[in-house]
Structure 1
Amino acid sequence: MRTTGSSAEAPTGIRVRTCIATRDRKADTQLLRIVVDPSRSDRLIPDPARRRQGRGAWLTPSLEALELAEKRRAFNRALRVSTPVDTEAVRTWIQEHAAEPPTPGKTRTLMSTR
């Protein structure tokens, strides 16, 4: 298994991103990507599949991290937005999916063996 650069703990092929709230570096599969809604530039939307166009911000999918990012105005800096942003869609997504890590594309179900 090869490693590269400053992310020596991550094998090649795993993209490491930084949470805008906690500043923790994690695999992108452990973080939620957030983008500006293309129809409303003051609204943020979750992008768990990581397929939407535009600049994205990475967030640990927890309400604590969301509140910290809002308090620090981290979304405005990361997404280069100068107006206040509406994070209600992100808050709703986190509340509904808090126990699940964001997974891109198809979801897999693991079967237990007994």
Structure 2
Amino acid sequence: MGHASEELKRILEKMKGELVPEAPAPGTVVKKSREPVKRRPPAAAAPADKKSEKQELITKYESALRQKEAEHEKEIKILRVEFEQERRLLWGEIDELEMRTHLEGNHDSGGI
């Protein structure tokens, strides 16, 4: 199951990297004048839609990842409780065997 979580994390990082705007290449002239901004044609709205789609996907995957992590934490807690119960049971059996061995040893040495 850990592999699935790692895969989800890798996909999320890749998608987040695609959402971050790229910095202009060194030496590129960046316009800083106060000229009016030209309106983009309606076809330019598609990249924004893609960006919001990607953001929704990222949110969905992050939510799924948090849910998987919560499930794993719950499983870990259950396993810890089971382990502790087994440990106590085994130590109880060990103590019982030691007592029995000690008592049997006293009975055997008493007749010599």
If the length of structure 2 is used for normalisation, what is the TM-score? 0.25
Question: Greater share of helix residues, 1 or 2?
Answer: 2
Q: Which has the larger radius of gyration?
A: 2
> Larger relative CO (CA 8 A, sep 6+): 1 or 2?
2
